[in-house]
Amino acid sequence: MPVRSGGPRRRRMGAPIRGACVGAVLALMPSAVLSQTRGGFEGGPMPGGGRGGGGLGGAGFGIGIGAGIIGGVIAPMLRAPRPEADDAVEPQWPRRPAPTVARPDEAIPARPRPAREKAAVHAPSRPVRPPLAEAPRPDSRRTVKAAPATPPPLSPPRIERAEPARPPQPARKVTSPRPVLPPAAPPSTARGAPPPVPAARPVADEPGLVPGEVLVTLRLSAPRDAASGLARRAGLRLLASEGFTLVPVTLHRYAIRSGRSVASVLRTLEADPQVATAQPNHAYALVGGGAPALAGAQYAVGKLRLAEAQETATGRGIPVAVIDSGVDAAHPALAGALERSWDAIAKGAVPPGSAHAHGTAVAGLVGARGPLASPAPEARLLAIRAFTGPGEARPSGAQGTTVHVLRAVDWAAQAGARVVNMSFAGPADALLARFLAAGSARGTVYVAAGGNAGAEAPPLYPAADPSVIAVTATDAEDRLYRQANRGGHLCVAAPGADVLAAAPGGGYGLLSGTSMAAPAVAGIVAMLLQADPALTPAQVRDALMRGARDLGPPGPDPEYGAGLADARATLQAIGLPPPAAGTAEATARAVVAAPEPTAAETPPTPRP
């Protein structure tokens, strides 16, 4: 074996030299041989005196030269060892380990040209760094292996054929519950990203709903244990079941487990074959505003023409239910006016200390006696507490709920109320609509405040219910109360801005809002029913609208309804004759002579 210590370039130069030496020896060998046989090969005499022969010797010399040339070319090929991989081309290995692709499924750049071609054309002066690979997919990891210390064989580096880079998997699977991640995010980021909000996470319900509660009625064909079975199937907790008489139905109140939304649970319940109705437990609020100071007179008495009308009717003996907050039964203006009281929240007696400014004021505006004038001072008031006031515990996080109001309406029907005042507002409620329709069919007249949500607000309920007489508010100048709702459902208007009303603790104060206007109309309805007990709710509505004094555009309008309520004209609308001359003046003098409250008697009015 030749000694390979001079490097590849030196070894390539030594092979032709050795071949040339061998060729020279071969070229001299025929000359020596031919010189030994020159005589034997020389030719004899030829005709013409020349000597023939000698040509073989010249030919032998020529053969020797040719053999030497051929030997010089072939001998190196026969004697030189077979070249190894690193003898043919100078390698282009980088001076530091180069990364190679470890997994064939990773994204790689375009296929490079073979290393043999690149080395033959370009000889860079610095190591060639491999191009950076594209970002890996989020569901894989990229590993890098260092190149071996000794150069590998000359054959081009073997690169597995890879498919073109595909879009990241999360972005392609749009139906996956996991969030779509940026394509360049590393795997740890994809696994550590927060998951989407699960269905079990509590979500905010729409305003006007009791959070986490639903009301359900079952079909008559449902088994006796259907209420508990429904709770298990729908993931609910049965809070209470109670029956009603105005509408013969058993209402089941459920609490939603696992923090699901009311809307999602209602969709589940509506698909249950044993469920007749399912709805939210709506929240209602008392509608009324505060007042800045005391007033020296009751301007509503003259606006409503109460003095003239009370010569004919005072609401004597007509049961009028007031569904509101607690009423101060010990107030001087209500002495002897309250016939019964009931708590729709506790389903029993009204607890002590539950008197509230809103309920006390509304009850007095219907049928106050003594120092405070009212439309129906001889009516029988039924005070029903269905709303909690400031400082009191608020069940279900609201002032009043669908369940409380349904209990109050049902109890009022059992107590024989002919008129029901509802100075509260909230969303539409299917169950409440059924109760109101049933009560109206039995002859009960429902009066409600139109709402204080403003001119652009949608209609509020129960005022917008077709079974209800909706009342808006005006001030001493017959201007519309600025916060009053508008709408075609409004029937009439009544004084409701800065109205003098009774306050808890025996005092008086000013209150504003459609809540203060509705009880004035409820008192006028009591006067009508005293004059003609056979009137239907539809006839009462017609009498109120025909007796109203038109305000605003001619005819009924979305702001004032038919106009300002007029007690005297309303009584005349049902055919009653006007009162005798002089009686109205005496009544008016009695009203004006009533003692006016003083600042010392009037505590600050709580905010309704």
* Contacts for 326 with CB less than 8 Å, ≥ 6 apart: 350, 354, 355, 356, 359, 360, 383, 385, 389
Known catalytic membership, residue 324: yes
Catalytic member of 358, 374, 429, 566: 358
Distance CA 409, CA 439 (A): 8
Known catalytic membership, residue 331: no
Catalytic member of 272, 324, 498, 566: 324
Distance CA 544, CA 564 (A): 9
Known catalytic membership, residue 512: no
370 contacts 339 by C-beta, under 8 angstroms: no
Distance CA 383, CA 322 (A): 5
Catalytic member of 325, 489, 515, 566: 515
State both tokens at 144. 């890098």
DSSP 589-604: HHHHTSPPP-TTT-PP
Which contiguous run of DSSP H or E holds residue 401?
Answer: strand 400-401
Handedness of CA 233, 236, 242, 246 (dihedral sign): negative
Task: Look at the chain and count its residues.
Answer: 608
474 contacts 564 by C-beta, under 8 angstroms: yes
Distance CA 567, CA 301 (A): 10
Cα 125 off chain centre by: 64
* Contacts for 45 with CB less than 8 Å, ≥ 6 apart: 51, 52
Distance CA 433, CA 324 (A): 18
DSSP reduced 3-state for 52: strand
Which residue numbers are catalytic?
A: 324, 358, 515
